[in-house]
Amino acid sequence: MFVIKINITLKDSVLDPQGQTVLRALHDQGKNLVNDLRVGKYIEVKVDTNDVAIAEEHAKELCGSVLVNQVIETFKYSVEKI
């Protein structure tokens, strides 16, 4: 069995209003060392296979078809045996 760990973020060219809101809140609290902040999503998927190649292919398929809006988002993933 493997766990697929997926990090999804908005592309750099896409505005991130949620990230800007959090950044303003941090600045309001005096945390002025933070000069940029982007909010993303983290997803874990467990797959029942003993073949890492199949798990990796499944990760690409899930991200490409359902989990990621590739017009505005980008993703990175890792596959770990559990």
pLDDT at 35: 94
pTM: 0.86
Distance CA 29, CA 26 (A): 5
Distance CA 58, CA 14 (A): 27
What does the radius of gyration of the chain's CA atoms come to, in whole angstroms? 16
Distance CA 42, CA 25 (A): 22
- Per-residue tokens: 26: 């941090």
pLDDT at 31: 96
pLDDT in tens, 53-77: 999 999 999 999 999 999 999 999 9
pLDDT in tens, 24-60: 999 999 999 999 999 999 999 999 999 999 999 999 9
